[in-house]
């Protein structure tokens, strides 16, 4: 099992997405957070299961329900995963 740490930018992105979803429909932010947490758990169990894109360092986990990617890198020797970004799929992934 790996330890997953969200970088500050990723935490801000999750917070902003939650605010937006809650403004759209009460309770939707909770569903978004639940899906993000589910994927973070999957990543912690096996960070190598999601594919590498755009760079040899970064992996992208696409959420199923919400149109977001979780972008992360693995430090195998430390058993750490750093979440770099949680971003909407309409954004350019090269700008994360």
What confidence tens digit (pLDDT) does each residue in 35-91 have?
999 999 999 999 999 989 877 789 999 999 999 999 999 999 999 999 999 988 876
Contact 5, 80 (CB under 8 A): yes
pLDDT at 90: 77
Rounded CA separation 87/71 (Å): 8
Contact 4, 43 (CB under 8 A): yes
pLDDT at 10: 96
Confidence at 2, pLDDT banded by 50, 70, 90: very high
pLDDT at 96: 47
Query: What superfamily in CATH does domain 3-89 come from?
Result: RelE-like (3.30.2310.20)
The pTM of the full predicted model, rounded to 2 decimals, is 0.86
């Amino acid at each position: 099992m790996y330890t997953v740490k969200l970088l500050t930018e990723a935490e801000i992105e999750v917070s902003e997405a939650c605010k937006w979803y809650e403004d759209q429909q009460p309770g939707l932010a909770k569903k978004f957070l639940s899906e993000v947490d589910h994927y973070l758990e999957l990543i912690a169990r096996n960070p190598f299961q999601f594919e590498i894109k755009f760079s040899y360092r970064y992996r992208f986990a696409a959420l199923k329900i919400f149109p977001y990617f979780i972008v992360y890198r693995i430090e195998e020797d430390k058993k750490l995963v750093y979440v770099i970004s949680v971003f909407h799929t309409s954004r350019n992934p090269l700008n994360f």
